[in-house]
Amino acid sequence: MNEQQITEILAKPYAQQLLNGTDPVRLAYDGLDGDPRVVPIGFWTEGDRVVMATTPNAPKVAALRAKPKVALTIDTNAFPPKVLLIRGAVELEIVDGVPEGYLEGGRRFMTAEQYVEWEVGVKGLYDEMVVIRVTPTWVKLLDFETTIPRAVEELVKAKASGS
């Protein structure tokens, strides 16, 4: 999949709704022991990149340094579901304090009253954070209105042709 295709999919209204909504991203990666992991985590975007931040001693940081390929999903619980699937390569950066994107991303997930207390807490807690930037290498948007999983699409075509 090339960059233009990725950009086109990420620009679609449902993709933008998911990228700017209140649902967390689910980050899937390989742990240092070789077993898969998936964790929900808050995020923000920088262009086509999905960005997260965590504490430098988080187990995922060491795992991502060792194997910097991940899969992400952002999805809804509504019907029909909306699902954005992303595979990509990770870049890690240690930054002083709390990144502005982390703070702005936090605003999406809580009320104004909750945010004030949360902001004070995270600024007091984190002397530094690791920013995790995922550059997409593949994306798929499933809205179950115009796009469905390929296996379901193949089944529909087979049924329609009488196979």
pLDDT tens-digit readout, 13-60 = 999 999 999 899 999 999 999 999 999 999 999 999 999 999 999 999
73-106: burial string, b at 16+ Cβ within 10 Å, e else: bbbbeeeeebbbbbbbebeeeeeeebbebbbebb
The domain that holds 150 is classified in CATH as 2.30.110.10
Give me the sheet containing 36-41, strands edge to edge.
36-41, 25-30, 69-75, 83-96, 128-142, 49-54, 44-46
Provide the domain limits for residue 55.
3-160
Q: How many domains does the chain have?
A: 1
3-state secondary structure of 65: helix
Percent of the chain past pLDDT 70, that is, above it, reads 99
Q: What is the dihedral of CA 155, 158, 162, 163, to 10 degrees?
A: -100
3-state secondary structure of 54: strand
By the 10 Å C-beta count (0-12 exposed, 13-18 middle, 19+ buried), 70 is classed as buried
Look at residue 91 in the predicted model and tell me its pLDDT.
Answer: 98
Residue 138, strand partner residues: 87
Q: How far apart are CA 70 and CA 59, in angstroms?
A: 15
The band of 108, judged by pLDDT with boundaries at 50, 70 and 90, is confident
pTM, 2 dp: 0.89
